[in-house]
């Protein structure tokens, strides 16, 4: 790989990181606090590119274009792979993890209830917004007494299974999309399945007795299902 190509590879990666981190794109892959580290990395890589392109080419070394680097300037052939992430970001623009992964991870263990005392849901006239994962662990503790007979609203995307049931689903990440975990609640009383991966707000009540690990997995008896815009950050 020549010196100029090396600069191009570094610059391309820097530009991709900047483009992702200055918009909302990075939220598809990593958690929110990564924004400024990514901006800084992109800026440093672009600066490095400028330096690599502008530094004087030593005359005696013009044969390989980099006498300053000495014989150690050669980079492994593997470095070509460094172009690939940027190409994939621009060409395929992989979306946030969605129904496909959630359906494959359906059998995974779910988030445990926090160790602290389980507080009741806040009092409210209308339905209370509850996270999907929280709804699941609340169903599992104290026989679901904290959500029984309460109107709740769950927001998430739609995933399905082979039996034709559909679920309101969320994916949580701790660090990056590689450690994603899915949680889902089956929606009953609404046979009209919304499009897979579309976002919905499901209002309804907990189906008594349904819980993670119980005979029937956690479910909600829906009174209304409203379409929603996908949030900028789809992960929890």
Partner 1 sequence: MSRSAPDRAVAKNPGPRLGQTEIVAVALLAVLLSQRWLLPLLDHDLFNTWGTIFVAIVVQSAPFLLGGVLLSAIISTFLSERALSRIVPRSPALGVPVAGLAGIGLPGCECAAVPVTNSLIRRGVAPAVALTFLLAAPAVNPAVLVSTAVAFPGQPVMVLARFLASLVTAVAVGWIMLARGRLLLERLAGAGRDQHAHERSFLGNVSHDFLHASGFLVLGAMLAAAVNTFVPRSVVDTVAGQAVLGILTLALLAFVVALCSESDAFVAASFTAFSDTAKLVFLVVGPAMDIKLASMEAGHFGTGFALRFVPLVILTAIASAVGVGWWLL
Judged by CB under 8 A, which of 56, 59, 93, 164 binds partner 1? 93
137 belongs to the binding site for partner 1 (CB under 8 A): no
Query: According to CB under 8 A, which residues from 71 to 90 bind partner 1?
Result: 71-73, 75-85, 87-90
Least distance from C-beta 37 to partner 1, angstroms? 4
- Residue (22 or 100) nearer to partner 1, CB: 100
Max Cα–Cα distance, the chain, nearest Å: 83
Residues 178-197 that bind partner 1 (CB under 8 A): 178-181
In terms of C-beta density within 10 A (0-12 exposed, 13-18 middle, 19 or more buried), how is residue 123 classed?
Answer: exposed
CA distance 173 to 110: 13
Shortest separation between residue 176's beta carbon and partner 1, angstroms? 4
Select from 174, 153, 156, 26 the least CA-distant residue to 98.
156
Q: For residue 52, what are the CA distances in angstroms to 6, 14, 126, 146, 178?
A: 8, 14, 61, 62, 33
In the block, residue with structure tokens 């590879």:
9
Contact in structure between 86 and 15 (CB atoms under 8 Å): yes
Site for partner 1 contains 145 (CB under 8 A): no
Among the candidate windows 20-28, 127-135, 187-195, 216-224, which touches partner 1 by CB under 8 A? 20-28
Least distance in angstroms from the C-beta of 1 to partner 1: 7
Q: Looking at 115, 149, 162, 229, which residue binds partner 1 (CB under 8 A)?
A: 115
């Amino acid at each position: 790989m020549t010196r100029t190509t090396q600069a191009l590879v570094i610059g391309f990666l820097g530009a991709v990181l900047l483009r992702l981190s200055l918009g909302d794109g990075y939220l598809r892959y990593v958690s929110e606090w990564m924004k400024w580290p990514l901006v800084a990395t992109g800026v440093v890589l672009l600066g490095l590119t400028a330096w690599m392109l502008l530094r004087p080419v030593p005359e005696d070394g013009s044969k390989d274009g980099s006498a300053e680097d000495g014989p150690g300037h050669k980079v492994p052939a593997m470095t070509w792979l460094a172009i690939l992430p940027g190409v994939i970001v621009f060409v395929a623009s992989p979306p946030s993890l969605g129904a496909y992964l959630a359906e494959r991870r359906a059998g995974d263990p779910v988030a445990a209830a926090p160790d602290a005392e389980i507080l009741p849901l806040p009092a409210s006239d209308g339905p209370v917004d509850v996270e999907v994962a929280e709804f699941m662990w609340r169903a599992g503790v104290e026989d679901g007494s904290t959500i029984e007979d309460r109107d709740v609203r769950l927001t998430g995307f739609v995933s399905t299974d082979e039996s034709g049931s559909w679920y309101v689903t969320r994916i949580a990440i701790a660090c990056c999309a590689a450690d994603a975990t899915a949680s889902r609640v089956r929606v009953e009383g609404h046979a009209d399945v919304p499009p897979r991966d579309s976002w919905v707000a499901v209002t309804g009540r907990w189906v008594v007795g349904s819980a993670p690990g119980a005979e029937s997995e956690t479910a909600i008896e829906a009174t209304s299902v409203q379409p929603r815009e996908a949030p900028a950050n789809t992960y929890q």
